[in-house]
Structure 1
Amino acid sequence: MITTDRAAGAHLLRQLREARGWSWTDLARALRDTARQLAVAPLMDRKVASIQRTVARWESVSDRTSPGERYQFLLAHLYARTPSGGLALGPGSDFEALLDALRHFGTSPHRVHQLVDLVIHSARSDEGESLMLPSPSTQLSLVAVPRDPSKLDHDVIGRLHDSVKTIKAQVGVTPFVRLQLQLAPIVESCRQLLELDQIGSRNELILLATAAYSLAGRLAFETRDDEVATAFYADATGAAGQLTDRSHRAAVRTSHTMVTLHATNDLEAAREIARAATVDAHRGSSYAIRARAHAVHAEICARAGQASEAATALDRAWKTVDQLTVDDPHGGFDGDRLNGFDGLCALHAGDAAHAHDSLDRSVSALRLSRDAVQRGIVSTDLALARLRLGDPAACVDLLHEAIDITAATGGRVPAQRIRLARHHLRPWRTEDFMVELDDHIHDALIGR
């Protein structure tokens, strides 16, 4: 169980700062400098006065503000080093005192372990650079580009694009905060390079920026930084709009639709983005993106109670899936994933039997590590289908699996779905299987 004592946490943070002889402004400047060193957007560009106000709120006994995940990492990196620059993580260190302060603020043991892991990985490299920056050869190439923009060739961009793909492939396996730190310098490089005139391979650079910004938006959403996520998706949409093939912008918009839906529950805003995605998808070359756009639009319609519109969008998605080709550069969306959307739409339409069959097929196919977050989502939807079919015990059995997946991946959407399923199970709250479920939810998702 997590216990909080915010006043004690605020007092410890103040003690740490004052022990180093720092004013609020000094700490704010140190945090911004650390953010710039580690390329942690958007804090690297925040004004010192703004950070100073945030620091003051942490130390106020009457304020409810506590350090968010980005600030937690920066504080950890800062206090892991002594004033002389040495590494000190053990008992009696400032780092240990910081972790105590964060615990008092309510930071979970799991998150504390993540911070320790991130700092240790940073310490094993040259001042933490290897955790987050591209390879040395790529760094050297990027340094030379501002002097001679023509040096930004296909090879350099290709290496950066491979890095983005590698980071994306780790979703569901590696903590989202660490993926953000790995992606941050690539995002910053894209921003700087796009400002240059007469740059080589500009179209490829825009493709890279689109992929990097879109992934950054997804990661910001997963770490509950929805304002930053919205900004990154706007950047990704703007970059993709410069590309002739509208499949790229459609891909950004389908992802943005789902993030908007799950971050705000604003169906109208999500529907507007989904409609724009389908328009772009039909102007693009990718049938996989077209199918996904229709599937996402179907889900939004189903959630809004528009069963007929949802059925029409699903029918278009299934017809498009039949046209998929193995060489589609946007491959990854297929009939197995569409079954998940089909089943969810059936759930909202009240057809539990259809929903169960579709969702069961989807879950059975989502076996790869990169599918873990999606498997957690679909497993919870399948659990609800079993509940609607009158089998609460079978529903709970599936939820146990979904909880384990969600605890491992940290996925925000499956966690939301688990809360929804638990709400629907309230009539059985006195059953033994519900007591076991609540214990599992607490131990795996709340008390960790």
Structure 2
Amino acid sequence: MLGESEGRIAELRSAVVRHVTDAGDGMLAFLAPGVQTGLAQALAEPTRTEERVLAGLSGVVSDVNAQVGTLPFVRLQLLLAPALEACRRLLAGPVPDPLIPELRAVTVSAATLAGRLAFETRDDTASRALYADATSQAEALATPWRRAGVHMSHALVTLYSEDGLGGARRLADKAVRTARTGTSARVRARAHALQAEIAAREGLERQAQAALGLAWYDMEAHPQSDPSPSAFSLPHLRGFEGVCELYVGDARSAHDRFDRSADSLSAPREQVQRAIVRTDQALARIKLGEPRAAADLLHECVGAAASTGGRVPAIRLRRARRELRPWRHEAWVADLDDHLMDVLGS
């Protein structure tokens, strides 16, 4: 209300969230007092569920999601679990019929985020079960872009939790097919970008470039009212372009795209993605014959990976470190190993 910038408000909100979670207040810290009472009444008697209760639960999920990159993933799991359990208990109902679609939508968001958090904390069995729940609830909604969002999130964790690219490719293709029938151009763009990355990792240059072209087409559509405007952004798309260049294109072009993407990913919520992009940029530098400069970049990524316990940045870091094996006797590689061991224990 006093005109503070969005960045400053985000910092303040993160500080408040960190404080209340340190104090053990958990999910209730996100709920207004009236909503807390309404939720307790709804859980005791689902027929008394009100729209403001579902709005409160949706807000909890959004707030937890907004803290990705600022708090450890384990803590985020603890914050999200009560909201997901509340959604499940309300779905067992009976909740008033007009509120069921909204309740399903909140459950989809909660279960999808919970699946991602379980993956980040290395519980792949729980992650698969949560994505199955999210998919089941999303299929009952008349909003294809939500189903596509579940498939994309599932595809990304599958990319890093399974050997081979087959499972991730099938989920990405399903996301594309579903997104094409939906109303969110941003979700379609993200689905095509993910499809492009997987094709590039398989060495399929023509398919990767075609999918990237479709992603750009969707990003430039500028619909008046995209139902998911924050689903994808130009910096994220540049990161996907860089990955495609890294695997089936030019390393210099990949490096420059990664650099621009990382510089644009400055918000607290984007720090995990920034670390991922920087590790890919380091791989590009290795291909360009600049291994020491690559090691300098990886030092930057170690702290970001450690602060959240993120699994993907850690995996990317280890892969990049393996590419430095030809220089393993150099002092600057030993310094990087010491940093990795001190901070990540790996």
TM-score normalised according to structure 1 size: 0.69
1:7-406 equivalent positions in 2, closer than 5 A: 124=23, 128=24, 130-133=25-28, 135=31, 136-145=33-42, 149-197=46-94, 199=96, 200-325=98-223, 327-332=225-230, 333-406=232-305
Cα deviation code 1:352-387 (max 9, x no counterpart):
022112111111100110001000100000011111
TM-aligned CA deviation for residue 328 of structure 1:
2.6
Q: Is the 8 A contact 2:295 2:333 kept in 1?
A: yes
Aligned AA (1:401) = E
TM-aligned CA deviation for residue 234 of structure 1:
0.7
Aligned AA (1:256) = H
Aligned AA (1:165) = S
Structure 2 vs 1, CA of residues 290 and 235 (structure 1 numbering), >3 Å: closer, same or farther? Answer: same
Aligned AA (1:224) = R
Cα deviation code 1:111-142 (max 9, x no counterpart):
xxxxxxx9x97895xxx5x2244635334212
Structure 2 vs 1, CA of residues 178 and 147 (structure 1 numbering), >3 Å: closer, same or farther? Answer: closer
Structure 2 vs 1, CA of residues 180 and 198 (structure 1 numbering), >3 Å: closer, same or farther? Answer: closer
TM-aligned CA deviation for residue 305 of structure 1:
1.8
Give the match's secondary structure for 1:319.
Answer: helix
Q: Choose which of 423, 426, 431 in structure 1 pairs with 2:330.
A: 431
Q: Is the 8 A contact 1:172 1:410 kept in 2?
A: no
Unaligned 5+ runs, structure 1: 1-117
Cα deviation code 1:376-399 (max 9, x no counterpart):
100000011111111111111111
TM-aligned CA deviation for residue 331 of structure 1:
2.2
Relative contact order, higher structure (CA 8 A, sep 6+): 2
Structure 2 vs 1, CA of residues 122 and 321 (structure 1 numbering), >3 Å: closer, same or farther? Answer: closer
Q: Choose which of 412, 416, 420 in structure 1 pairs with 2:315.
A: 416
TM-aligned CA deviation for residue 228 of structure 1:
0.3
Cα deviation code 1:278-334 (max 9, x no counterpart):
011011111110000001111111112222111111111111111134743322312
Q: Is the 8 A contact 2:47 2:93 kept in 1?
A: no
RMSD after superposition: 2.0
TM-aligned CA deviation for residue 145 of structure 1:
2.5
Task: State how many pairs are aligned.
Answer: 325
Inter-partner Cα distance in structure 1 for 2:225 and 2:147: 19
Q: Is the 8 A contact 1:274 1:293 kept in 2?
A: yes
Percent of aligned pairs with the same amino acid:
46
Inter-partner Cα distance in structure 1 for 2:183 and 2:325: 47
Structure 2 vs 1, CA of residues 247 and 354 (structure 1 numbering), >3 Å: closer, same or farther? Answer: same
Q: Is the 8 A contact 2:71 2:307 kept in 1?
A: no
Q: Is the 8 A contact 2:152 2:172 kept in 1?
A: yes
More helix by share: 2
Bigger Rg over Cα = 1
TM-score normalised according to structure 2 size: 0.89
Structure 2 vs 1, CA of residues 179 and 123 (structure 1 numbering), >3 Å: closer, same or farther? Answer: closer
Inter-partner Cα distance in structure 2 for 1:330 and 1:398: 33
Structure 2 vs 1, CA of residues 289 and 123 (structure 1 numbering), >3 Å: closer, same or farther? Answer: closer
Structure 2 vs 1, CA of residues 291 and 413 (structure 1 numbering), >3 Å: closer, same or farther? Answer: same
Q: Is the 8 A contact 1:180 1:216 kept in 2?
A: yes
Inter-partner Cα distance in structure 1 for 2:153 and 2:252: 28
Inter-partner Cα distance in structure 1 for 2:156 and 2:27: 28
Aligned AA (1:394) = A
Aligned AA (1:222) = E
Q: Is the 8 A contact 2:119 2:157 kept in 1?
A: yes
Structure 2 vs 1, CA of residues 148 and 291 (structure 1 numbering), >3 Å: closer, same or farther? Answer: same
Aligned AA (1:160) = L
Residue of structure 2 in register with 1:69 after alignment: none
Q: Is the 8 A contact 1:260 1:266 kept in 2?
A: no
Inter-partner Cα distance in structure 2 for 1:122 and 1:389: 45
Aligned AA (2:317) = I
Give the match's secondary structure for 1:182.
Answer: helix
Q: Is the 8 A contact 2:27 2:60 kept in 1?
A: no
